Chain A
Amino acid sequence: MTGRWERPAGTEVVYERPEALTDAVTHYCPGCTHGIAHRLVAEVIDELGVRERTVAIASVGCSVLAYNYFAVDAQQAAHGRAPAVATGIKRVRPDCVVFTYQGDGDLAAIGTAEIIHAAMRGEKITVIFINNAIFGMTGGQMAPTTLVGQTTTTTPGGRLPERIGYPIRICEMLAQLDGAAYVARQALSSPQNIARAKRSIRKAFEAQLGGHGLGIVELLSTCNVNWKMNPVDALKWLEANMIPVFPLGEFKDWSKAGEMAATFGGLGEVAG
């Protein structure tokens, strides 16, 4: 094999690698939905034309190497601290488009304080939150989003609520905060859901670009390896088990005026 592949005359490109993705081969397991999430984010960055002013924050977990896959400037953050790192960057480089890419252990366990307070401050950042109900990188331990009854390596008999409580719903929590401009949960489980996910990711970036506040998209994702399923069964399991616990939809949208009036009307100001 020599030389560069040339597109035959008379054909057109209908699908190609987004400019915001590198050509590195990812380390993700076969069947994992991280690849879809990466691609959607990269497509949105391309479409918004912001690749050359974007800074990504890779977190700790399966996506720790995300800086190798996004063709943008990046900082790798300590476990859970991505929203704090993003805050530091955005405050000194307000023209940059700053996004974090975090899993459920990173964002909903060790980094709970950082995401809540970044939203509270209304940081103009975008957060991509991968919820696959398990710690993937470390080998399948319980996450705060693990479902009741779900077996993991630290809940060998299934998650028992009387001992370990119930899964945490981040979007519902963050939607209470006035600083969060866009909050949505989507699933990477079918072509239709993936199309919705992309629309939400775009809005979460637009919330930042318009200076409205923090935008977060939670993406229900699969971890077929640690769930011990084949990829197709994992997608079915997600739809059958995760969506009932983590309902899909937009919880907060700055662009819907009525909702904004209800949220911001008269709140948070000291009179006199």
Chain B
Amino acid sequence: MGERQLMKGNEAVAEAAVRAGCRFFAGYPITPQNEIPEYLSWRLPEVGGAFVQAESELAAINMVYGAGGAGVRAMTSSSSPGVTLKQEGISYMAAAEVPGVIVNMVRGGPGLGGIQPAQSDYYQATRGGGHGDYRTIVFGPATIQEAVDVMARAFELADKYRTPVVVLGDGYIGQMMEPVSLPDFVDPAALPPKPWATTGARGRKPNVINSLYLDPEQCEKLNRKLQAKYQEITAAEQTAELSWPDSEYYVVAYGTTARICRAAVQEARAKGLSVGLVRPVTLWPFPVDTFAKILDRARAFLTVEMSLGQMVDDVRLAVDGRCPVYFYGRTGGMVPSVDEVAVEIEKMVEGGGRR
């Protein structure tokens, strides 16, 4: 770990990728993530990597498919409308088991939406997003430091499980500045070999990166193999932060929203209310095990999002009808305030929840 320095989120994410051994980036300009390609356009060549400004998001993700398939740590970044275009390539990467990292600094939608922060791409990120029966690992960092930390983890897991990994930030995570400690450099040459990669069939049988299975039995077999991998990931990679674990009531939030909720929870606790905070860090796999730990004593949950209710579905699945789950959200680039959340916490407690 280096000394702490003040960095803008997008630039910190870009530097973290380089330090994680990423040596290929392709992307297309879109606000609010432009500092990532701008930074990597000079930084990657400096470390012997390659940067390509692509003609479209479709081309960019397919370049990542090529580079990742050739065995090099590769990434792309974008914001909501651009990530929609990338879904084609993400589906192919999931099926062909090509590692890669996709950063989405989410902005308001649907359609062209706006350029202010949002969390309304939660469904798209956590349900696969493209066609077919697949999932991607999804991180939802709440600070610039955590964004830096999950970049390293994202590249590790992408390689470990041979799967695309999404880092779901938002306009705030991309644009604000915070002090960060950057990790040490990963030497790409020291990473475990990838004997499956397309590097030229020198003295071996040819490798093929492919997602075409015309025989339905073979296609089902691929799907079962992917599902087994997803079960392994679900068992091993759930990450969440549980604050005030002995509470009766809990607020659930991720990313930027979790910071606002933390302040609101602290206010409520100062008033003597028994409120805790569940902050999922992996959005897929969703940290159901964290919920399992508190379900016996929890009387109600309040989910807060910068959307009109997406993660709340996963909270309800995790709670499984054992107590009420309330929701509060702002969307389209509007951000919930501490006061708004405080009011919702009081409503939850007044409602009483399960006895």
Contact = CB atoms under 8 A, between A and B. Distances in A.
A51 B203 CA distance: 10
Contacts of B211: 76
Interface stretch (B66-74, B121-129, B252-260, B265-273): B66-74
Interface residues of B, number: 40
A76 B50 CA distance: 22
Interface in B50-87: 50, 52, 54-56, 58-60, 62-72, 74
A224 interface: no
A81 interface: yes
A64 B62 CA distance: 16
Given A64-B212, A88-B26, A92-B74, A78 B55 contact: no
Contacts of A57: 66
A91 interface: yes
Contacts of B212: 64-65, 76
Interface string A88-128: 11011101110000000000000001101100010000000
B162 interface: no
A73 B199 contact: yes
Given A52-B203, A89-B66, A92-B74, A67 B58 contact: no
Secondary structure of the B contact surface, majority rule: mixed
B200 interface: yes
A89 B198 contact: yes
A88 B198 contact: no
Interface in A164-212: none
Contact of B58 (A64, A71, A84, A92): A84
Which of B55, B66, B88, B96 has the most chain A CB within a 10 Å cutoff? B66
A52 B201 contact: yes
B303 to A, nearest CB: 36
B206 A88 contact: no
A85 B74 contact: no
A62 interface: no
Contacts of A70: 206
Nearest 9 A/B pairs, CB to CB:
A88-B66, A53-B200, A88-B63, A88-B67, A117-B55, A85-B66, A81-B62, A84-B62, A91-B50
17 contacts: A51-B201, A55-B70, A67-B206, A71-B201, A72-B201, A75-B210, A76-B209, A78-B92, A88-B24, A88-B63, A88-B69, A88-B74, A89-B69, A91-B63, A92-B23, A96-B70, A114-B59
